[in-house]
Amino acid sequence: MKFLTPRLIKIASLIKDDDEIVADIGTDHAYLPIYLAKGHKVKFVYASDINKNPFKVAKENVKNFGVSDSIEVINSPGLSWTLERDNLIIDCCVISGMGSTTILDILKLDNDKINSYIISSNTLVGPIRQWVKEQKYFIEQEVLVEDNNIIYEIIKINKFAGIKIKKHSQIYFGPILLKNIDKLFVEKWVKEKEKINKILINLPSRDKKIKPLKKNLKLINKFINKEMSE
Ligand SMILES: C[S@@+](CC[C@H](N)C(=O)[O-])C[C@H]1O[C@@H](n2cnc3c(N)ncnc32)[C@H](O)[C@@H]1O
């Protein structure tokens, strides 16, 4: 499928062979579910969206690509529809293309029917990793991908196995990404540093946000400088 972006292709690559039942929350056009169904990578996909228009477009696309037997399109907010269904097991639930605040709101309805998540946020993923730590869940995989000049962090959360988050630096940068610091990692955090510096310049001198921002800047410098000096 030509229209699948590098970010969505990377998300699809994190879906394993035994992730047979997948859900895509905030599916929009349903490109990811169609790609998965067309490639026979999964048995069944639930593609849900809160808004009427994406729901309609997703339904049309699923029909036009001839994959109506393996995708159900649902018009519902977040994970609420999962609570209404008996005997539902979702091996992997994708939540992507929204900000971390919206994603965390959706995760409030996390439940036992879902075994793992792939999260791709439009904003920093730290708050999601903090949630993972609080739930005592694990990080199964983390990757960076550059798409349209933006470097995205994509994480796979597993409820049963993987890496436990312990330290603040792991929450901020990701425990797996920290172990494999590469060019893209450095590029992402250099850009983030520039963003923070711009915010700091424009904040009034007694603003409450200054202290946590400076703390983050110090943390970025520590890891980036270490990498650059090696
Ligand atoms: C930018 S699109 C992302 C599409 C695709 N998931 C991706 O990653 O490219 C965001 C979609 O999420 C939907 N959305 C926003 N909040 C939602 C929620 N609470 N529950 C379900 N869908 C939501 C929007 O209607 C929109 O279609």
Indicate if the pLDDT at residue 3 is higher than 90. no
| C-alpha 224 – ligand 1 centre gap (Å) | 33
Q: Residues 6 or more apart from 43 whose CB is under 8 A from it?
A: 20, 21, 70
Write the burial class of residue 111 (CB in 10 Å: 0-12 exposed, 13-18 middle, 19+ buried): exposed
Full strand arrangement of the beta sheet holding 21-25 = 71-75, 44-49, 21-25, 92-98, 116-121, 150-158, 138-147
Rg of the chain, C-alpha, whole Å: 19
Query: Which residue(s) pair with 157 in the sheet?
Result: 117, 139
pLDDT per residue as tens digits for the range 4-54 = 999 999 999 999 999 999 999 999 999 999 999 998 779 999 999 999 999
Residue ID of nearest Cα to ligand 1 atom 8: 97
What's phi and psi for 227, nearest 5 deg?
Answer: -65, -45
For position 225, what pLDDT does the model report? 76
Q: Is the CB of 142 under 6 A from ligand 1?
A: no
Phi, psi of 71 (to 5 degrees): -135, 130
- CB distance 96 to ligand 1 below 6 Å: yes
- pLDDT for 1 equals 60
How many residues does the structure list for the chain?
Answer: 230
26 lines ligand 1 (CB under 6 A): yes
Nearest CA to ligand 1 atom 3: 97
Q: Is 32 helix (H, G, I), strand (E, B) or coil?
A: helix
Decide whether any atom of ligand 1 lies within 6 Å of the 9 Cβ. no
Give a three-class secondary structure readout of 101-161: HHHHHHHHHCCCCECEEEEEECCCCHHHHHHHHHHCCEEEEEEEEEECCEEEEEEEEECCC
Q: What spacing in Å lies between the alpha carbon of 229 and ligand 1's midpoint?
A: 41
Q: Name the band, by pLDDT with cuts 50, 70 and 90, for residue 108.
A: very high
Quick one: tokens of 118?
A: 């792939």
Whole-angstrom Cα distance, residue 35 to residue 87?
26
Q: Is 33 in the pocket of ligand 1 (CB under 6 A)?
A: no
- CA–centroid distance, 215 to ligand 1, in Å, is 32
Distance CA 182, CA 142 (A): 13
The three-point CA angle 99-140-2 to 5° equals 60
CB count within 10 Å of CB 107 equals: 22
CA-nearest residue for atom 27, ligand 1, is 28
Q: How far is the CA of 97 from the centre of ligand 1 (A)?
A: 6
pLDDT tens digits, residue range 173-229? 999 999 989 999 999 999 999 999 999 999 999 999 999 999 999 999 998 876 666
Q: What pLDDT, on a 0 to 100 scale, did the predictor assign at position 2?
A: 61
State in Å: Cα 77 to ligand 1 middle.
10
Q: How far apart are CA 79 and CA 202, in angstroms?
A: 38
Look up the pTM and report it. 0.95
pLDDT at residue 230, as a whole number: 62
Q: Quick one: pLDDT at residue 228?
A: 63
User: What is the C-alpha separation between 65 and 190, in angstroms, rounded?
Assistant: 41
User: Angle at Cα 191 formed by Cα 101 and Cα 9, nearest 5°?
Assistant: 65
d(CA 197, CA 213): 9
CB 50 less than 6 A from any atom of ligand 1 = yes
